[in-house]
Structure 1
Amino acid sequence: MVAPSQRTAPCVLHAEQLSRVYPSGEGTITALAPFTHVFAPGLTAVVGPSGSGKSTLLNLLAGFDTPTTGRVVVGETDLHALPEVRRADFRLAHYGFVFQNHNLVPILTALENVEFPLTLAGVPKRERRERARALLEGVGLSGRASHLPAQLSGGEAQRVAIARALARNPDVLLADEPTGNLDTRTGERVLELLIGPAREGRTVVLITHDREVATRADHTLQVRDGAVTVGG
């Protein structure tokens, strides 16, 4: 696997005239109005009230949802032009995800959860075990490797989720309200773990409603009523 220090040119994430419109009984609902933006390497905070379109944007950037118009380009790859199976493979190779509710596999230990994307990628057991142990050590949880998610605190589970997201050295890291359910001190520690990859030249997109969290970002997007603007 390629270590962050060995990376050359960053893999640019680019939204081109991206939009999402849903049909409704009274016509249509614009969840996300068309917008174009290059997500520069570093940490981009996407802020806005609940229901503003932040999660819609994240789902489109990840390829979980299909845009009404436009496309998402990662490096030179048009994400939505890929067949579903190839798009899933592309996500596995190039994306990492951190969700507000962790989404850890409940029957796997912390170590096994971090290993999971490496297992899917066919990485040999010894190599993936060494990588997972190093990542858990990096987030300060080497002593919790054998614990199941139910035996972890919320902050610990979120740190395991970040270690898992970093397992394949992703070009793009997407985080949906990763500090939303955490106390201030724990949230700060989780935020620092996300700032680290951004400083290494990865593209980290962080959805948040917390203005204080947003002030730590390199770049900011404001989403309100489906409209995306730079800054805010």
Structure 2
Amino acid sequence: MTVHPSAHPLTLRVQDLARVYPSGDGQVQALAPLTHTFAPGLTAVVGPSGSGKSTLLNLLAGFDTPTTGQVTVGGTTLTTLSEAARADFRLAHYGFVFQNHNLVGILSAQENVEFPLALAGRPPRERRERARELLALVGLERRAGHLPGQLSGGEAQRVAIARALVGNPEVLLADEPTGNLDTRTGERVLELLRGAAQAGRTVVLITHDRDIAAQADHHLNVRDGVVTPG
């Protein structure tokens, strides 16, 4: 499946990135200091539950702030921005795919895909045309008027990928996007993520499935908060 190329590829880098949480009388190191450049393409971050994968993803997205270190996307240091500025930056440069798709239940598939463009203030006609293009890309143009509750799990996840790609983001973060899907549907979702990576995006895929991870271009392992090359 063809995905539009990223208009302006940005380099995602972390420098001495770490996250420590208070715990009782002590501290828990959720992420040990990490310095890494995420190359364009698909990077799989692999590890068991509780290993620190989601902590890393939340820091990369700017949903959480590090105890030390920084996240840089292109020429912007995400960790120095205000919360509002980080939200604006995410809207302009990031796409997200979550395990449970996080679609808005009262909006149709078409409206869910349009939603990021509406937040960005794009004209209605442009939003409609772009959303239809993305739904066709994921093979769901005939399901555009259906609510999330009328879609299968795999269909809902493909709508979520269309929504993530609608703004042509440079960085795509995916948190266990195949975790609730059967093998065949999971492979189709992975194919879409690989297509996005091949179009020049930096795609970071969180997974505990090593068969899924084996299909990535780059690999990182996480255990007890320590990240090592795969």
Shorter-chain TM range is over 0.9
Structure 1 gaps, min length 5: none
Q: Secondary structure at the match of 2:100?
A: coil
Matched, 1:230 2:229: yes
| Deviation, structure 1 residue 5 | 3.9
**What pairs up with 1:29-178 in 2 under 5 angstroms?**
29-178=28-177
The corresponding residue for 2:7 is 7
User: Structure 1 residues 48, 6: closer, same or farther in 2, change over 3 A?
Assistant: closer
Q: Distance in 1 between matches of 2:137 and 2:106?
A: 23
The corresponding residue for 1:213 is 212
Measured after TM superposition, the shift of residue 6 of structure 1 is 7.0
Q: Deviations over 1:130-189 (max 9, x none)?
A: 000000000000000000000000000000000000010001000000000000000000
Taking a change above 3 Å as real, the CA distance of residues 5 and 226 of structure 1, as seen in their structure-2 partners, is closer
Asked if the contact 2:6/2:169 (under 8 Å) is kept, the reply is: no
**What is aligned with 1:26?**
25
**Two-structure CA RMSD over aligned residues (Å):** 1.0
Change in CA separation of 1:34 and 1:82 when aligned onto 2, cut-off 3 Å: same
With over 3 angstroms needed to count, the CA separation of the structure-2 counterparts of 1:26 and 1:220, relative to structure 1, is same
Letter in 2 for 1:103: N
Mapped to 1, the partners of 2:199 and 2:229 lie a distance apart of 23
- Please give the secondary structure, in 2, of the residue aligned with 1:57: helix
Instruction: Give the whole-Å Cα distance in 1 for the aligned partners of 2:32 and 2:189.
Output: 31
Structure 1 residue 80, shift from structure 2 partner: 1.2
2:197 maps to 198
Alignment: residue pair count: 228
Q: Give CA deviations for 1:77-132 in whole Å, capped at 9, x if unaligned.
A: 00011111111000000000000000000000000000000000011000110000
Partner of 1:16: 15
Q: Is the 8 A contact 2:45 2:204 kept in 1?
A: yes
**TM-score, scaled to structure 1:** 0.97
TM-score, normalised with respect to structure 2: 0.97
Q: CA deviation at 1:212?
A: 0.4
Structure 2: runs of 5+ lacking an equivalent? none
Q: Are 2:114 and 2:128, in contact at CA under 8 Å, matched by a contact in 1?
A: yes
The separation in 2 between residues aligned to 1:20 and 1:166, in whole angstroms, is 29
Distance 2:173 2:5 in 1: 20
2:10 partner SS: coil
CA distance in 2, matches of 1:68, 1:56: 12
SS in 2 for 1:36: strand
| Identical amino acids, percent of aligned pairs | 75
Q: How big is each residue's C-alpha offset from its partner over 1:24-67, in whole Å with a ceiling of 9 and x where there is no partner? A: 11310000000100000000000000000000000000000010
Distance in 1 of aligned mates of 2:94 and 2:194? 16
Q: 2:172 aligns to what SS in structure 1?
A: strand
Answer yes or no: is the 8 Å Cα contact 2:134–2:166 preserved in 1: yes
Give the equivalent residue in structure 2 for 1:189: 188
Question: Conserved in 1, the CA contact under 8 Å of 2:6 and 2:199?
Answer: no
